[in-house]
Amino acid sequence: MLLVWIGELMKLQKIRRLNKMKILIIFLMFFVIGALFIISNNSLAMYKKENSEKFSELYIQWIDQIYINSQKLTGEAIKLDWLPK
């Protein structure tokens, strides 16, 4: 009985680890695709130094805007009345 319980616990830990990896991959894909959109929308040739500096500036601005938007979204979600009357 104890061995079955330990086996189930190990399966659960493996599933949690896989879920964390999936979430990490999704975030990584989001930021890489965002970087590719920035490069393509601004026609940046990354082998030029001035373009790589421009990319760095635009990428940091994009990440900053994501942070600001998530703050606004969280603030608005907190203001909502979530409990039934």
> What string of pLDDT tens digits covers the 85 residues of the chain?
666 666 776 777 777 777 888 888 999 999 999 999 999 999 999 999 999 999 999 999 999 999 999 999 999 988 888 888 7
Task: Tell me the chain's radius of gyration from C-alpha atoms.
Answer: 21
Instruction: Write out the two tokens for 70.
Output: 């998530």
Least Cα distance to 43 among 62, 32, 58 occurs for 58
- Residue identified by tokens 């930021």 is 31
Strand positions, DSSP E, 1-85: none
With 0.95 as the threshold, say if the pTM is over it. no
